[in-house]
């Protein structure tokens, strides 16, 4: 049981929106940028996206090919482990379901776990179940504009039901694995799964 | 923290720990509150059974109102691992919910809940060696100060040769001279140590007679002040997002290995309200 902080009142409590804020989060209206290193820059000519099966099979899209894939517009609340949440963010991107269907058509299967790999060397791990069934996208635009580099452009993963470090910026590959492995932050003390509603911020959080 | 960094691709091969130890909430007693600048205070805390930390890490602070409402924020640790007390240096953001309380209402003798240490990437210890390049904007100096204090404490009785193996340069951007956090201590550390160089730049109203830099940190300034890339410095950059974005990009343009440039950013509400 937490002791009362003498003299602390806090902001006026959010009302209509309060049900949309997971525990320990506060609402922000701007869009903070957080990353552990310099922002990588990659030209469209050098960009590609790959889905790699648990074996060696790879499905690959160039930037031009990727740009022709059907896109969805999604509006979601996002939650960063550093405590800010941003409500009703609007994205446009390719559903991971679409990518996996295309990959399967090319003989590349999925596995029970996936590692997202990014330019700059960032990685994050997810269970397959959390990226299929309309739960994850490779986002190419935010608020109707092409995704800015500092927010992960040209393409970032969008998995809004988990803390936002799982939505890897600058994503280039989904690599399926037979066994789970921790990604970058997951091996530096952050939670392996990262459900904001269960406040799974750090390793050891229930 | 929150997202993309540098590191060789492919996930680390470490297996998942079977049962990680939880980072528990602890009660901290406020021992002292030190004014640093008109808007910045340092909270000196006594934390029972603090597990120790590395310079550069942070803690989560949790406040509870009488009706049970809680607010959490993250703050960088300013004290080195060698200190008995844990110090947090906090800038008051006028539209903030937590920082005005911590810098205005909190008194010695009060209690705070916190948990940590958190963050294993933006961290440095003398064992990692140098040279060290620290670039800060505003209150971004806080985690870097923990590194400098740790460096000074660890090298206190070291031979000059040892000290020269971990040389450090600091480039620190502030708006005004009276907003420079830890101003006297930085000067003292540099006076005592020929292997430490501290350079300030002031972006607004430099004092009369100021001969130092008077602009935002740019590529030319970094080329002049920073270690050349061939020295392979370990670089830590912390400050507001625009500063970190431009400094990190300029360092990469100058030829520094992106994997050696570690950044921590805070936006208007990024991590330090």
From chain B, pick out residues whose CB is under 8 angstroms from the CB of A26: 71, 97, 273
Tell me if B244 sits within 8 A of B263, measured CB to CB. yes
ipTM: 0.89
- Residue B1 sits at the chain A interface (C-beta within 8 Å): yes
Q: pTM of the predicted model, to two decimals?
A: 0.91
What are the backbone angles phi and psi of residue B159, rounded to the nearest 5°? -65, 155
Q: Averaged over A140-145, what is the pLDDT?
A: 95
Q: Which residues contact A153 (CB under 8 A, 6 or more apart)?
A: A140, A146, A147, A170
DSSP string over B57-95: -EEEEEEE-TTS-EEEEEEEB-S-TT-SSEEEEEEPPTT
The CATH number of residue A99's host domain is 3.90.420.10
Distance to chain A for B215, nearest Cα, Å? 22
Percent of chain A, pLDDT > 90?
84
- Residue A44 maps to a domain: no
Q: Averaged over A139-149, what is the pLDDT?
A: 95
The pLDDT tens digits of the residues spanning B92-145 come to 998 889 999 999 999 999 999 999 999 989 999 999 998 999 999 999 999 999
Q: Which fold has domain B126-266?
A: Rossmann fold (3.40.50)
The pLDDT tens digits of the residues spanning A5-19 come to 999 998 866 655 668
pLDDT confidence bin for A90, thresholds 50/70/90? very high
Between CA A91 and CA A94 the distance in angstroms is: 10
The pLDDT of residue B14? 55
**Each residue of B10-49: b (16+ CB within 10 Å) or e?**
ebeeeeeeeeeeebeebebebeebeebbebbbbbbbebee
Residue A167 pLDDT exceeds 90: yes
**Number of domains comprising chain A:** 1
Between CA B72 and CA B67 the distance in angstroms is: 16
- Residue B266 sits at the chain A interface (C-beta within 8 Å): yes
Between CA A161 and CA A76 the distance in angstroms is: 9
pLDDT confidence bin for B159, thresholds 50/70/90? confident
Q: Which residue has the higher pLDDT, B19 or A141?
A: A141
Using the beta-carbon criterion (under 8 Å), do A83 and B112 form an inter-chain contact? no
The pLDDT of residue A18? 67
Pinpoint the residues of chain B covered by CATH 3.40.50.80: 126-266
Closest CB to B265: pick one of A34, A122, A206: A34
- Residue A193 sits at the chain B interface (C-beta within 8 Å): no
The pLDDT of residue A19? 87
Strand partners, A114: A126, A176
From chain B, pick out residues whose CB is under 8 angstroms from the CB of A205: 22-23
The pLDDT tens digits of the residues spanning B224-273 come to 999 999 999 999 999 999 999 999 999 999 999 999 999 998 754 333 32
Nearest residue of A to residue B264, measured between CA atoms: A36
Between CA A21 and CA A197 the distance in angstroms is: 8
Between CA B232 and CA B235 the distance in angstroms is: 9
Residues 153-182 of A with CB under 8 A from B: 164-165, 167-170, 180-182
From chain B, pick out residues whose CB is under 8 angstroms from the CB of A187: 11-12, 14
Tell me if B5 sits within 8 A of B121, measured CB to CB. yes
The pLDDT of residue B268? 45
Using the beta-carbon criterion (under 8 Å), do A10 and B113 form an inter-chain contact? no
Nearest residue of B to residue A174, measured between CA atoms: B10
The pLDDT tens digits of the residues spanning B9-25 come to 444 455 555 667 889 99
Q: Assign domain B26-118 one CATH number from 3.40.50.410, 2.40.30.10, 3.30.1330.10, 3.50.50.60.
A: 2.40.30.10
Residue B174 pLDDT exceeds 80: yes
**Range in A130-139, B212-221, B252-261, B262-271 the model is least confident about:** B262-271
The pLDDT tens digits of the residues spanning A19-64 come to 899 999 999 888 777 778 889 988 889 999 999 999 889 999 999 9
Question: What range does the domain containing A92 cover?
Answer: 54-198
- Residue A102 maps to a domain: yes
From chain A, pick out residues whose CB is under 8 angstroms from the CB of B66: 4, 9
For residue B144 the two structure tokens come to 């870097």
The pLDDT tens digits of the residues spanning B33-67 come to 999 999 999 999 999 899 999 999 999 999 999 99
Pinpoint the residues of chain B covered by CATH 2.40.30.10: 26-118
């Amino acid at each position: 049981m937490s002791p009362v902080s003498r003299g602390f009142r806090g902001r006026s409590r959010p009302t209509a929106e309060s049900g949309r804020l997971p525990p320990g989060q506060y609402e922000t209206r701007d869009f903070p940028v957080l990353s552990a290193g310099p922002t990588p820059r990659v030209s469209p000519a050098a960009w590609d996206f790959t889905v790699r099966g648990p074996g060696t099979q790879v499905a690959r899209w160039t930037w031009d090919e990727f740009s022709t894939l059907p896109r969805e517009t999604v509006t979601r609340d996002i939650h960063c482990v550093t405590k800010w949440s941003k409500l009703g963010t609007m994205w446009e991107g390719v559903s991971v379901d679409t990518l996996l269907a295309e990959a399967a058509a090319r003989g590349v299967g999925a596995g029970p776990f996936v590692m997202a790999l990014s330019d700059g060397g960032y990685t994050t791990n997810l269970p397959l179940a959390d990226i299929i069934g309309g739960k994850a996208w490779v986002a190419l635009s935010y608020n109707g504009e092409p995704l800015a580099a500092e927010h992960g452009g040209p393409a970032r993963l969008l998995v809004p039901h988990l803390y936002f470090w799982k939505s890897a910026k600058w994503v280039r590959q989904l690599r399926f694995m037979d066994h789970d492995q921790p990604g970058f932050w997951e091996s530096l003390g952050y939670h392996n799964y990262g459900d904001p509603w269960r406040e799974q911020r750090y390793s050891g959080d229930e | 923290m929150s997202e993309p960094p540098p590191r060789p691709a492919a996930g680390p091969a470490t297996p998942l720990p079977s049962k990680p130890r939880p980072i528990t909430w602890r009660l901290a007693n406020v021992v002292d509150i030190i004014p640093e600048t008109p808007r910045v205070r340092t909270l000196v805390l006594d934390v029972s059974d603090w597990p120790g930390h590395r310079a550069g890490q942070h803690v989560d602070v949790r406040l509870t109102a009488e009706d049970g409402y809680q607010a959490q924020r993250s703050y960088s640790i300013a004290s080195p691992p060698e200190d008995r007390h844990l110090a947090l240096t906090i800038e008051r953001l006028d539209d903030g919910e937590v920082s005005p309380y911590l810098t205005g209402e909190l008194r010695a003798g009060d209690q705070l809940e916190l948990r940590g240490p958190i963050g294993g990437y933006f961290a440095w210890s003398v064992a990692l060696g140098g040279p060290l390049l620290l670039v800060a904007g505003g209150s971004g100096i806080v985690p870097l100060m923990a590194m400098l204090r740790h460096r000074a404490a660890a090298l206190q009785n070291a031979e000059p040769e040892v000290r020269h193996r971990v040389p450090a340069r600091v480039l620190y951007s502030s708006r005004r001279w009276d907003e420079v956090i830890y101003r006297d201590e930085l000067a003292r550390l540099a006076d005592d140590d020929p292997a430490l160089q501290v350079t300030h730049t002031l972006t607004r109203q430099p004092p009369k007679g100021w001969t130092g830099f008077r602009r935002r940190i740019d590529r030319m300034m970094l080329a002049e002040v920073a270690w050349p890339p061939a020295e392979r410095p370990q670089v830590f950059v912390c400050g507001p997002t625009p500063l970190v974005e431009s400094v990190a990009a300029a360092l990469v343009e100058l030829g520094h290995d992106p994997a050696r440039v570690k950044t921590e950013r805070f936006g208007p509400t990024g991590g330090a309200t």
